[in-house]
Amino acid sequence: MNTAPILGIDLGTTNSLIAYWHDGKAQLIRNALGSVLTPSVVSLDDDGSILVGQAARERLVSHPAATAAAFKRYMGSSKRYRLGKGHEYSPEELSALVLRSLKADAEAALGMTLREAVITVPAYFNDTQRKATRHAAELAGLHVQRLLNEPTAAAMAYGLHQNGDDQKFLVLDLGGGTFDVTLLDMFAGIMEVRASAGDNMLGGEDFTELLIEGFRAAHSAINLSDAQGALYAAAERAKQALGSGDTEMLVNHNGAPLTWRISVDDWEKRCEPLLERCRIPIEQALRDANVRAGNLNDIILVGGATRMPVLRKAVARLFGRFPTTGLNPDETIAIGAAIQAGLVAQDKALEEVVMTDVAPYSLGVDVSIQTGHERYEHGIFSPIIERNTVIPVSRMSTYYPVQTRQSHLRFEIYQGEAHLVRDNILLGKLDVPLPDYSNPDEMPVEVRFTYDVSGLLEIDVHLPADDSTHQLTIHNSGKNLDEAALKAAHEKLAALKIHPRDQTENRTLLARAERLYTQRLGDERQYIGQRIALFTAALNSQDARIIRDAAQELQDYLDHMDDTPWD
């Protein structure tokens, strides 16, 4: 192998993996211990050196105060982890240490310097969390070619994109610290994400914590504050044992053995609140995609926590059928990341795969709504691109000044779903000077959001009154893009700013319909006119899925009309 491959990395809450695409398939890379799983744990050794992986995990029991785990949950937050005395790390710094370890293992295995990577993230990670992930990669000496949503990676690992028929799949990804739900539609060689939902604070660690809480309650008279590491290890063993029957947790504390017996029935009862939390994003994804559970072709389980029988039973009860679990749930996402890396590298074996994604959160601006005479409610979120919109996408909304003769408008850009902007995430601000006017209704302001799969959000504000345009670019890379990169991204997005009715393929289809309209008479002409009106309405929706379906219907109808002899 002469050319350095692009790495596919599953940066997990509990374990992380690294792979690459080679000889037409995904190849998992083993670490120095011969395992493909590297625990996402970091510890500070007694001599001041940093330990990553299995060695660090072992120190969770012996040196809990100098060891950190499950920090992926807090990516992008202000949380700090203190390891030993005087050493503090952010979640992205700890993640960078894990990524650096994975990178070193890959370079040792392949015998070359590696820099490019595709890294998976929970589909429901927001902009701040995605920026933090990119920052962690940069700290580790990696350049992120793309952040790939974990359920999408899982679908690619299962080869769902190779199914020729139109099929719908629901991917449930329960990892150590996050839960993702993604509904995918496969048609004509295209894998399209229809909807994503999830819970960034729900994972296998929460099920483990249930057992720790139960053990603490059974021994409430004993101070177990110094036994967290031992409790965690015992709970993990018990969680696995509960898959085959009743079990007992055993912890040695100050030389004395402490035990707690738990039955499968008790375990399932304790899990009910967490299973209910799993159900909520499942229903949201189905609702957003407007798909009934009975219309799904399959349900795919990925993520190490999906091994739990209590979870598999709950999913089976919810859907009335058993889910698919053919691949190793710990390895599935890394395999998918390697496939995506092959796509990025344009490997010929993958040239037929086409993939689309969706915006995981709504994107919009801060507006004021009139509630009475000269009375306004401020700080209201007005979505421009709604969640689960297929990306890349470009959407426009029109706004007006509140007062007469305002000198400027300030657009604050937010990401989230809350009605009030204070409960969403502020991404940026854009001040737009206004020309002189006497009536707010005479001053429309057109705001266009253009968003791509890399997380680049371009805001264009156009004032028809003086034909001026103001622009802001927001990207999730965590730092300013260089001029060349920005220019390339802008050029790629420029096509999206063309209204769908002005795109060549749609203008051609309309021209053909109008040609037939001029040629035909009577009922035929009336029907063609109705079809033109329906297609125009679809174009005005600016929804890629609606336009695609309407275009196909019009195309089929026009083909039929062209084959029909004139009267």
pLDDT at 492: 46
Q: DSSP string spanning 232-279?
A: HHHHHHHHHHTTTS-EEEEEEETTEEEEEEE-HHHHHHHHHHHHHHHH
164, 293 contact by CB (below 8 A) = no
- Three-state SS annotation for 395-440: EEEEECCCCCCCCEEEEEEEECCCCEHHHCEEEEEEEEECCCCCCH
Summarize the confidence of residues 81-86 as an average pLDDT. 86
Q: DSSP string spanning 70-130?
A: -GGGGTTSS--EE-SSS-EE-HHHHHHHHHHHHHHHHHHHHTS---EEEEEE-TT--HHHH
Q: Name the pLDDT band for 567 (thresholds 50, 70, 90).
A: very low
What is d(CA 498, CA 374) in angstroms, rounded to the nearest whole number?
A: 37
Strand partners, 239: none
What is d(CA 4, CA 107) in angstroms, rounded to the nearest whole number?
A: 10
Q: Among all chains, which residue has been given the structure tokens 């304790």?
A: 270
pLDDT at 226: 82
What is d(CA 476, CA 474) in angstroms, rounded to the nearest whole number?
A: 7
Summarised one tens digit per residue, pLDDT across range 339-352 is: 989 888 876 555 45
**Pair of tokens at residue 230:** 């031992």
Q: Name the pLDDT band for 212 (thresholds 50, 70, 90).
A: very high
Residue 72 has pLDDT above 90, yes or no: yes
Residue 64 has pLDDT above 60, yes or no: yes
Give CA torsion, residues 121, 124, 127, 131, to 10 deg.
Answer: -20
Summarised one tens digit per residue, pLDDT across range 496-535 is: 455 555 566 777 788 788 777 766 667 777 788 888 888 8
Three-state SS for 561? helix
Is residue 383 reached through a cis peptide bond, with omega within 30 degrees of 0 on the bond before it? no
- pTM, two decimals, is 0.70
pLDDT at 524: 79
Q: What's at 517, amino acid-wise? A: Y
Other residues' Cβ atoms within 10 Å of the Cβ of residue 520: 18
150, 124 contact by CB (below 8 A) = no
Summarised one tens digit per residue, pLDDT across range 114-144 is: 999 999 998 878 888 888 999 899 999 999 9
Summarize the confidence of residues 194-220 as an average pLDDT. 92
156, 364 contact by CB (below 8 A) = no
144, 117 contact by CB (below 8 A) = yes
What is d(CA 523, CA 88) in angstroms, rounded to the nearest whole number?
A: 77
pLDDT at 477: 45
Q: Name the pLDDT band for 440 (thresholds 50, 70, 90).
A: confident
Summarize the confidence of residues 281-289 as an average pLDDT. 91
pLDDT at 126: 81
What is d(CA 498, CA 324) in angstroms, rounded to the nearest whole number?
A: 42
What is d(CA 343, CA 352) in angstroms, rounded to the nearest whole number?
A: 10
What is d(CA 154, CA 190) in angstroms, rounded to the nearest whole number?
A: 15
Summarised one tens digit per residue, pLDDT across range 410-432 is: 999 999 888 888 888 898 899 99
* Percent of the chain with pLDDT strictly greater than 90: 42
Per-residue CA distances from 551 to 128, 289, 511, 534 (Å): 37, 20, 13, 10
Q: For residue 41, give the nearest of 31, 28, 55 by alpha carbon.
A: 55
Three-state SS for 283? helix
What is d(CA 567, CA 564) in angstroms, rounded to the nearest whole number?
A: 9
Summarised one tens digit per residue, pLDDT across range 234-256 is: 999 999 999 889 999 999 888 88
**Pair of tokens at residue 499:** 């209204």
Segment among 47-61, 132-146, 148-162 with least mean pLDDT = 148-162
Q: Name the pLDDT band for 479 (thresholds 50, 70, 90).
A: very low
Question: How many Cα atoms sit within 13 Å of 510 on the Cβ side?
Answer: 17
535, 551 contact by CB (below 8 A) = yes
Residue 10 has pLDDT above 90, yes or no: yes
pLDDT at 481: 43
pLDDT at 500: 59
Residue 354 has pLDDT above 70, yes or no: no
Rg over alpha carbons for the chain, rounded to the nearest Å, is 27
Summarised one tens digit per residue, pLDDT across range 292-324 is: 999 999 899 998 899 999 999 999 999 999 998
